[in-house]
Amino acid sequence: MPRQIVSPHEVDVESVGRRDYWVSLSHTSVWGSHLIPLTVIVGPQAKPGEGLVAFGANHGNEYEGPVAIKHLLREIKTQDVLGRIILVPVLNVAAFRVGERESTGDDGFNLNRVWVEGAGTTPELAGITHRIVEMVRSVIWPHVHISIDIHSGGEVARFAHWSGYFEHDDTQINERRQQMARWFGCGVVLATGASMPNGVSRGLYEEANDLGKYSIGTELGHGSSTDVRGVRYARQGILAAAIHHEQLSGNIEPIDHHADGTQSLVRGAASVAAPYPGHYEPLFDCGAVVSKGTTVGLLHDFYRLDEDPFEVVAGVDGIVISQAWGARVDQGQMILLVGKKAE
């Protein structure tokens, strides 16, 4: 059955059954609309305000999320859904259309930086990127308590595969969040402190946490490719969260680093920004264990060929979580992130 094109207020997230939509947001420059794919499946045990949403393509050049969620659209059977599951394989359709991190063909904004007050509801914040924020706030947030945001680095950075959560003062909530992150199967589980306050450049991951939801974020690849393990981890994490929170019936077994007990919990990190524009040479792969003071990479200045390169040094004992993806880097760009192992 073809997807139904609807306006945001026409999306039915409460009636039992499955509905496949294109959610229509008007285009600002052509006679037409941006169409956001959204599937909602509601089971007989759905509770008000509870459900799971999984987002792909918050950035338009990160593809593990869209591919994994596209597979789940076919795999999840309506009769197996107990609660509420919302799947959005491509959230940032404007950026996805041009294969860019930002919506460069439209308003030029980065969707994961504009979750601010007034997004999509005030004239100065009325472009497509801000209106996507408002769609999520009005259509999705009131009906879910679990949010999974699948990222993968795009062209900006390479990552050790990680899934992460925000730590909570309540030990039981904190443990449940950590277990959700572990079930993705990644080698690194990243525990983060409080998110940024309202009014500061914020992302979907932070907003979901601020609203009290079980908010999981990931980095599951890089290079605008489709990473084999990244797709596997995304699919696993979404299914595990749905089953363990009684939104979906069934059983699931741990995989990879979760199954063999080799996951590393990381709390805190030390970053290095490029002091000048140049070309970055990594000396270690992401995921490597390094000691504080280790030179992890070199920043070369080819306009000063006879000078020694800048040594990019680990600020803590830990794991190389992220490094610059392309060799060319801008001044101020984060080119190294080393996470401090908690266990």
- Per-residue pLDDT of 4-45, as tens digits, reads 999 999 999 999 999 999 999 998 777 889 999 999 999 999
Closest Cα partner for 52 from 219, 327, 324, 237? 237
* Tens of pLDDT, residues 138-186: 999 999 999 999 999 999 899 999 999 999 999 999 999 999 999 999 9
Residue 196 has pLDDT above 50, yes or no: no
Residues 6+ apart with CB under 8 A from 229: 161, 220, 221, 256
Residue 199 has pLDDT above 60, yes or no: no
Question: Which of helix, strand or coil describes residue 177?
Answer: helix
Closest Cα partner for 81 from 129, 43, 26? 43
In the block, tokens 């040594």 appear at 311
The percent of residues above 90 in pLDDT, for the chain, comes to 93
Question: What's the mean per-residue pLDDT of the chain?
Answer: 95
Residue 200 has pLDDT above 70, yes or no: no
Is 235:216 a contact under the CB 8 Å cutoff? Answer: no
Q: What is the 3-state secondary structure (H, E, C) of 16-38?
A: CEEEEEEEEEECCCCCCEEEEEE
Domains in the chain, ordered, with CATH? Answer: 4-262 (3.40.630.10), 268-341 (2.40.50.100)
The C-alpha atoms of residue 287 and residue 257 are separated, in whole angstroms, by 13
Q: What is the 3-state secondary structure (H, E, C) of 108-173?
A: CCCHHHECCCCCCCCHHHCCHHHHHHHHHHHHHHHHCCEEEECCCCCCCEEECCEEEEECCCCHHH
Provide φ and ψ at 40, rounded to 5°. -125, 130
The C-alpha atoms of residue 338 and residue 62 are separated, in whole angstroms, by 22
pTM across the whole model: 0.96
How many alpha carbons lie under 13 Å from residue 153 in its C-beta half-sphere?
Answer: 27
